[in-house]
Amino acid sequence: MDRIDLHILRELQSDGRLSNQELAQRVGLSPSPCMRRVRQLEQDGVIQGYRAIVDPAAVGRGFEVLVSIEVRRDRAAVEAFERALQDIPDVIEAYRLFGSPGCLLRIAVADLAAYERLWIERLTTLDGVTEVNSQIIMKRVKEPRGLPV
């Protein structure tokens, strides 16, 4: 990747809805070479997709919780746990970690009561789970806005 590719990435992370014409103008290319570069970045897997950023409160998911989970440290338990997470839409991010805790989840639900139901009915009942610790997010201080490129 050269400096133009990096500039394209910065611009698209800032506004993924830019027209090719506008993007080309911002990065100093004509539209055809700009489109070729964007398509190549997509084909190479550098650009993995485009998404709308949705206000969680507007869709009834303004209560967010970071949850650390310990899972029994054997392959079958970890794999079963990770598969089960795919079926819980309230889990919007999940990471397997080195060390302790073994897993970190970001959960978005309507309110504390909804989280309590999820905690009781789903999280604590997953195979291999030995501990669940919750940290309620008070305020989002910095929004995810892409990678520094």
pLDDT digits (tens, 9 = 90+) for 19-72: 999 999 999 999 999 999 999 999 999 999 999 999 999 999 999 999 999 999
Give the chain's mean pLDDT.
96
Pairing mode of beta strands 63-71, 103-109: antiparallel
**How many other CB atoms are found less than 10 A from the CB of residue 12?**
19
Residue 84, pLDDT above cutoff 90: yes
Q: What pLDDT, on a 0 to 100 scale, did the predictor assign at position 67?
A: 98
Residue 12, pLDDT above cutoff 90: yes
Q: What pLDDT, on a 0 to 100 scale, did the predictor assign at position 144?
A: 83
The predicted model scores a pTM of: 0.86
- Kindly report the CA angle at 141 between 104 and 116, in degrees rounded to 5? 45
Q: What pLDDT, on a 0 to 100 scale, did the predictor assign at position 146?
A: 86
